[in-house]
Chain A
Amino acid sequence: MKKSSILDEVALIRAARDGDLNSFNRLVLEYQDLVYNQAFRILGDPHSADDATQEAFVSAYTNIRSYRGGSFRAWLLRIVTNACYDELRRRKRRPTTPLEPLDDAGEEIESPGWMVDPGESPEEASQRAELAGAIQDCISALPAEFRAVVALVDVQGLDYAEASEAIGSPLGTVKSRLARARARLRECLQGFWELLPGAFRLESEA
């Protein structure tokens, strides 16, 4: 993040702390993709992710005075991760939420429309969607706390220190959970290796 945008962020946070909702909404626009991604990776379905994201921003605004500096991104990710844990607990008590998103007609769709790159051929798009679905299924099969760490480090690209701040656990916990999560994912994803796009294959071999 550039220095000027950091200064902007600090000013916006200060204004939001004083009750300026417009300033907070500018922060929302800046971070909503990140927060939504985290919710989606943990919960595995867009409807729950949508609810959790909204809930997280309401909670963030209500509790913004408890933000004591440090990474605002990590603070937001912590709030949304906790909102997701709450949702998972609710699901455990009442397992009625559909796992696949529904279209306008109420039919299940395999992957949401925004996951498809409009520049891809239908075949590529289909493969990519299949791979993304497989990865998400494997992530969803992990225990919730493993999911959160994988989403933070491998999907969102946070470093260990920031991930540790986001889940409120020591660095060693992040390291250990991530290693265990990756071990499980490796087994789960073995059959999908061929679907990995060439660019990523080269990156993995580097």
Chain B
Amino acid sequence: MATKISKRDWEALSAYTDGQLSTRERVHLESRIKTEANLQSGLEDLRRTRAMLRSLPKLRAPRNYTLAPEMVPARKAHPRSYPVLSLASALATFLLVLVLVGDFFAPRQLAMAPAMETQVAEVAAEPQIQREVPPGAGGGVPPDAVTGKTLEAAPTPTQDLQATPGFASDTQEVAPAEEPAAELMEELPPTASPSGARIEAYPAPDETAERELLPAPEGEIVPDATLGRNLIFRILEIGLGIIAVVTGVAAFLIRRGTGG
């Protein structure tokens, strides 16, 4: 052979002689074989080699290789428990997958529900706040004040919910210059928490407003339900996991023990 053939071309030629190329590859290779002498020569060599290999006689086995019972280890039959354990393992695994899928989707829905309800409540509450907070009752913002200020001063449900020590500065922003509030705050004992101060100092809007500002009652119950569900999911997952593993291992050991 005059020119060296690349490994890739040789592989293509080899597959070509066995008819293992796709139509596209075959057409491409055939067009190259027509123009490239080294591929022609390679193909000829390959065909010759293949023919030599195929000229090898098919040998007959020199004897029979049939097995006598003493040549093979006695095979024990699987005990009756084997199919039961196998089935139990498969079933537990299947249920575990179902529970995991349920677990994956269920908490998201539950977590999303209160958040959505809060948002709806915020949107619904804001105009009511402007309407229902009595002028000068707590916010002290005069009705003719700039609308922006009114909105700033109005307690949103979120602010109400966030009335924790960490939000003390917000509290001050919300009711900044109210003298009665300031006085009350001064009167408070030093141990009183800022949030407590805010709650005391902030004149409560009437109860209807308060109720409307709070998220839907379901929102308060949902965390408990989520916890309950999560607990059930964990128990199921762990239980099914243990059953699947234990029965699976037992079935495997039985199968191994019986040589199957």
Q: Which residues of A contact B (CB under 8 A)?
A: 19, 21, 24-25, 28-29, 32-33, 35-37, 40-41, 46, 50, 53-54, 57-58, 61-62, 65, 112, 114-115, 117, 128, 131-132, 135-136, 150, 153-155, 157, 159-160, 175-176, 178-180, 182-183, 185-186, 189, 192-193, 196-197, 200-201, 203-205
Is the Cβ of B75 less than 8 Å from the Cβ of A25?
no
Cα(A186)–Cα(B47), bound, Å: 10
- Tell whether B148 is near chain A: CB-to-CB under 8 Å: no
Distance, CA A176 to CA B10, complexed state (A) = 9
Cα distance A132–B56 in the bound complex, in angstroms: 6
Given the complex, which residues of B lie within 8 Å of A189, measured CB to CB?
Answer: 48-49, 52
Chain B residues with Cβ below 8 Å from A160 are: 15, 18, 20
CA distance A178 to B10 in the complex (A): 10
Across the interface, do B59 and A37 meet the contact criterion of CB distance under 8 Å? yes
Are B61 and A32 touching (Cβ within 8 A)?
A: yes
Assembly CA distance A164 to B23 (angstroms): 21
Q: Which single member of A24, A36, A46, A200 contacts B51 (CB below 8 Å)?
A: A200
- Can you offer 18 A-B residue contacts whose CB atoms are under 8 A? A33-B60, A36-B60, A54-B65, A57-B65, A62-B73, A62-B75, A132-B56, A132-B57, A150-B53, A154-B54, A175-B20, A179-B7, A180-B10, A185-B52, A196-B55, A200-B51, A203-B51, A204-B50
Report the separation of the CA atoms of residues A35 and B229 in the bound assembly, to the nearest whole angstrom. 60
Contact B15 A36 (CB under 8 A): no
B62 contacts which of A46, A176, A179 (Cβ < 8 Å)?
Answer: A46
Bound-state CA distance A129–B260 (Å) is 44
B67 near A57: Cβ-Cβ < 8 Å? yes
CB distance from A116 to the nearest CB of B (A): 9
CB distance from B254 to the nearest CB of A (A): 13
Contact indicator B72/A62 (Cβ below 8 Å)? yes
User: Complex: how many Å from CA A132 to CA B55?
Assistant: 8
CB of A36 within 8 A of CB of B61, answer: yes
**B47 interface neighbour in A65, A112, A132, A204, Cβ under 8 Å:** A204
Q: How large is the interface on B (under 10, 10 to 19, 20 to 34, 35 or more residues)?
A: 35 or more
Q: Check B67–A196 contact: CB distance below 8 A.
A: no
Tell me the complex Cα distance, A128–B75, Å. 46
Query: Is A131 a contact of B15 with CB atoms below 8 Å?
Result: no
- In the assembled complex, the CB of B116 is this many whole angstroms from the nearest CB of chain A, namely 51
Partner pick for B10 among A25, A54, A179, CB 8 A cutoff: A179
A61 contacts B14, C-beta separation under 8 Å: no
Residues from chain A with a CB closer than 8 A to the CB of B22 are none
Query: Bound complex: CA of A132 vs CA of B46, how far in Å?
Result: 18
Residues of chain B lying within 8 A (CB to CB) of residue A175: 11, 14-15, 20
Say yes or no: is B31 at the interface (Cβ < 8 Å to chain A).
no
Q: How long is the Cα–Cα vector from A133 to B192 in the complex, in angstroms?
A: 104
Q: Is B64 at the interface (CB under 8 A from chain A)? A: yes
CB distance from A131 to the nearest CB of B (A): 7
* Partner of A185 from B11, B47, B49, B62 at Cβ < 8 Å: B49
Say yes or no: A28-B57 contact (C-beta < 8 A), given A183-B10, A200-B51. no
Determine how close the nearest CB of chain A comes to the CB of B19; give it in whole angstroms: 9
Q: How far is the CA of A54 from the CA of B259 in the complex (A)?
A: 19
Interface set, chain B 22-60, CB cutoff 8 A to A = 44-60
Please give the distance in Å from A152's CB to the nearest CB on chain B: 11
Interchain CA distance A58-B57 in the complex, whole Å: 26
Besides A40-B59, A62-B259, A201-B51, 16 more A-B contacts (Cβ < 8 Å) are: A21-B72, A25-B67, A28-B66, A54-B65, A58-B72, A61-B67, A115-B59, A132-B55, A155-B53, A176-B11, A180-B10, A185-B52, A203-B51, A203-B54, A204-B44, A204-B50
| Partner pick for A182 among B50, B62, B75, B77, CB 8 A cutoff | B50
Using known A-B contacts A57-B67, A114-B59, determine if residue A192 contacts B14 with beta carbons closer than 8 Å: no
Q: Are B59 and A192 in contact (CB under 8 A)?
A: no
Which A residue's beta carbon lies closest to that of B11? A179
